[in-house]
Amino acid sequence: MGGRIGGGRRAWLQRLGAGAALAGAGGIGGWISRALANGDLGGKQGVVKLDGTATVDGRAAREGTPIALGQRVATGKDSQAVIVIGQDAFLLRSQTIVETRARSGVLSDLLISTGKVLSVFSKKPLTIHAASATIGIRGTGAYLEVEPADTYFCLCYGEAVVQGPGMADKLVKTEHHESPLLLRNDGPAMRADSAGFRNHTDSELIMLEALVGREPPFVKDGKVYPAGKYG
């Protein structure tokens, strides 16, 4: 699927974009609404949108700054960045630090040192490292918040295996945000407790997937199922 959107889907995206605008006419929220309505999202790489400040390997970044596999990206205080690396796209919220690793020229590992990041990945084996947790995935959308005390993990859609110290492997399968987890190390073994949905939206996932020419699986025939539940 290409980056341009036409026909009946454009009208639907315009309505979706108008809803996203309710979160704020400026910054990332406003940009998402306009980008969805225009259908002008494909073909971009590196730093696609920056609201505030960010660095790539410690050097100040701006919109259009290229990002290669193996580099470290950090957002500043009160900042957000949308980045694309190959066929994978990311929304980094304020004070987030991520680093990528590659195998045979393809993203194989995502390291999240701290912060909040929403990601969509092409179909390939990949491991997310977040504090003491490791999460093996293949072609999914995922949202993580890495804090000193715990890690929040929502598998937005797809399949993942969550691993941690002293904990049996936990298989997670979802279609639409059904099983958020809070991963904690407060005893001899890591715990994976059920958690509520928080701090990311379907509009953001649709935008990230559109940047790499895809649609999330919860979009069917130009409609979101269930409509309006997750923004």
Quick: pLDDT tens for 187-217: 889 999 999 999 999 989 988 998 998 889 9
Q: How many domains does the chain have?
A: 1
> Using an 8 Å Cβ cutoff, are 143 and 203 in contact?
no
Section 11-39 average pLDDT: 58
The tens digit of pLDDT for each residue in 146-155 reads: 999 999 999 9
Domain that holds residue 104: 47-218
Task: Report yes or no on 226 lying in a domain.
Answer: no
What stretch of H or E contains 145? strand 141-146
Q: State how far the alpha carbon of 131 is from the alpha carbons of 76, 121, 202, in Å.
A: 20, 20, 26
Domain-embedded: residue 227: no
Give the tokens for residue 17.
């974009």
In a domain, 6, yes or no: no
In a domain, 122, yes or no: yes
Residue 155 included in any domain: yes
Give the domain CATH number at 60. 2.60.120.1440
Q: What percent of the chain has pLDDT over 70?
A: 81
Residue 128 lies in a domain: yes
For 4-23, the DSSP string reads B--THHHHHHHHHHHHHHTT
Q: Is the pTM for the entire model greater than 0.75?
A: yes
Indicate whether 129 belongs to any domain. yes
Residue 103 lies in a domain: yes
